[in-house]
Every structure is written in structure tokens, then in C-alpha cells.
Amino acid sequence: MAEPAIKTEEPATRTQTTLDRSWNEICELGLQKHVAELDAYGYTIVPPEIANPNNLAERLLDKCLDIAERRNGERPDLENGSTHVNLEGTEVGMRYVGHTYHPHGPLGDVFHSLLLEDEVFQEALMNPVRLALVTHLLGYNAVMSSMGCWMKGSGSTTLALHADNSLPSPLPPHAIGCQTTYWLTDYTRENGSTAVVPGSHKWCRQPHGEEKIVPEKPGDRGNQQAIPLEGKAGSLLIHHSNLWHGAYNRTAPGVRVSLTNYMLRHFMRTTENYIDKIPQEVLDRHPPRFAILTQQGVKVGGSNPEETEHRVETAEKYLAAYAKEIGEGYRPVEQ
């Protein structure tokens, strides 16, 4: 492993904290530039040569196409997009009802709950580069909220700018969540890429009125500070939960495919529930952090004393194993 570019003080001079551990992981993986971008702009794009070990994105794409074919009864036409033109969202795939009112849906076909569909999705969750940046934003006890695939064909509707933070304004300045998105096909403006307002994570509020509109082209009505995020398939986009983001409509033929893995601080309600739902053999295949990421360390009470006791005992077992993995020499700090 490469020597860290910036080292923290040696343990002999002071007690090392989990913050030191997180920073050292970032240095060992060479991610300092991406941390600086996250803090300055609210987002960063990690290129495929760093974010895509062992052709992870290609394998995710293959599996997503298989699942789409199985769930929808037809294999997506990635090249020409015939299966996804002006798609409003299907009953099978697009279940987020609040997003389906657009006549030419800006999201396309969306299917969630992928974690247990195949080991490749668990690999995406555990990607060390992704985890190092998630830890920087959310700390070591972050949990996953959802994992979904988005397949968007050409259409006329942009996705309005918003922050993925469902709290009332003012939003807290620190991230309570972060979106991580594997780009499984190339992202360009014509391909319907993500739109962001750089630096908006510092404003600590949702956009209002015209601020929410993604202009279809420069000079059109809408937020003039919105820009398209572009990059090659295999890139990984990570952004702060306060960042204003949306999407351009796809004007080129074909289908834009991405895999999102939304992460939250451990006290937030998640979209998908994995508490006590991960098969033991899956937990056994992974290091202790996997159990924490998949919510096994969350002490949500049951509806009777026995359930509550079981949950607290189980959570403490996984938290203790994880504390051992992190290292007992580290002093926990609030991150």
C-alpha cells in the first residue's frame, strides 16, 4: 500500500482517534483531492481507474440488465433505447409514486432492494474507496438506506433540483446522508446526466421556485448555476445530502444506467429494511463492517419486551465485533 501523503501524529505523541483512522484510510487510497472536492463543492467524481476495481461497473451493469429483464419481461435496449423512450416508470420497477407524475418521466425505470440479489451488489457496498469517502462524511457507524438501479431513456422532462435531506430548513451543515452513484454507462449532458449546483451544500436549505428548475440548455429559464456532471462509465459520484442536484433529460438515443447506494447516519430511518434480514451465510462472508452497514447494529426497539431485548442484544454483538475490527487503540470522536 502506498505511503500516506500526509501522516497524522504517531500514537506515541497522542491517542489516535477514529478521525485519524478515517484520514489515514483516505491518504492510503490517495483520495485527498476527492475529500477536498466534497468539502468545497459538495460532490466529487472518482474516476474509473480508482473507483472500479476488477471491472466492478461492467459486472454491475450485466447483473442489472439481467434483473431488469427478469422483472420487466424484456431486456433493456441499451444502444437504441427503444425499451425506455419517454418511460413514465413501470408498475414492476418504478414504485416511487411521487416521482411518476411527469408525462415523460425524468427517472426512467427504477428498481430497488438489490443488495441480496447478487454478491456483486455486496461488493459495490464494500468498495474501500467508496467506504473511505462515506466515512469522511458520515462516520464509521453509517448505514445503507437503499440500493437501486436507474435506467433512463430519452425524454423531455428534467428532474428538479433538490437536496436529499428531508429535514425542514435550515438543514444541518454536516451531512446526515450521502448519495453514492456508480455510473454504469457514460454520463454526458445529452445522455441525461446529473445536474448539480456546486457549493450549494453550504447554503443549508432546499431550493425554491425557479431555483429548482434545471435549464434544458444555457439561457433557458431556471437555475443558471446548475451544471452537468460528465464522465466515463465506471466513475463513482458521491455527494453531500445538502447538495442541490437533479438531472437533465436524455436527448440522445440509448439508455443511461446507474446504481445508487444511499447512505445515512445510523439514527435516520432507512428506505430499505435489513435489520435481522441478512442471511447468516452472507454476514459470515464479510468483515464486521458489513453488518453495521446493513443495519444490524441499529437498536430499533421491537413491539414487545422480548423483541426489544433481542434487538438490543443482537445490535450490541455486532457493534462489539465492529469495534474490535476498527481497533481498540482508537478513541471514538464525534464525526
Given the rule CB under 5 A, which residues bind Fe ion?
164
Nearer Cβ to Fe ion (25/164): 164
Q: Which residue is at the shortest CB distance from Fe ion?
A: 164
Q: What is the 3-state secondary structure (H, E, C) of 208-241?
A: CHHHHCCCCCCCCCCCCCCEECCECCCCEEEEEC
In the complex, the smallest distance separating the C-beta of residue 245 from Fe ion, rounded to whole angstroms, is 6
Terminal CA-CA length for the chain: 26
Residue 120, helix vs strand vs coil: helix
Helix ranges restricted to H, the chain: 18-28, 32-41, 48-51, 56-72, 119-126, 128-138, 280-284, 288-293, 305-326
Nearer Cβ to Fe ion (20/164): 164
Residue 43, helix vs strand vs coil: strand
Strands 245-247 and 159-162: antiparallel
In the complex, the smallest distance separating the C-beta of residue 159 from Fe ion, rounded to whole angstroms, is 8
In the complex, the smallest distance separating the C-beta of residue 204 from Fe ion, rounded to whole angstroms, is 17
Give the sign of the dihedral formed by CA 127, CA 129, CA 131, CA 137: negative
Residue 77 · residue 185 · CB < 8 Å: no
Residue 214 · residue 159 · CB < 8 Å: yes
In the complex, the smallest distance separating the C-beta of residue 99 from Fe ion, rounded to whole angstroms, is 10
Nearer Cβ to Fe ion (27/264): 264
In the complex, the smallest distance separating the C-beta of residue 149 from Fe ion, rounded to whole angstroms, is 15
Nearer Cβ to Fe ion (55/166): 166
Nearer Cβ to Fe ion (83/181): 181
In the complex, the smallest distance separating the C-beta of residue 162 from Fe ion, rounded to whole angstroms, is 6
Bond prior to 170 in cis (omega within 30° of 0): yes
In the complex, the smallest distance separating the C-beta of residue 157 from Fe ion, rounded to whole angstroms, is 15
Nearer Cβ to Fe ion (178/319): 178
Nearer Cβ to Fe ion (109/164): 164
Q: Which among 110, 145, 56 has a CA at the least distance from the CA of 257?
A: 110
Nearer Cβ to Fe ion (65/243): 243
**DSSP per-residue string spanning 139-180:** -TT-EEEEEEEEEE-B-S-PEEEE-S--SPSSPPSS-SEEEE
Residue 121 · residue 115 · CB < 8 Å: yes
- Cβ atoms within 10 A of the Cβ of 208, count? 8
In the complex, the smallest distance separating the C-beta of residue 106 from Fe ion, rounded to whole angstroms, is 11
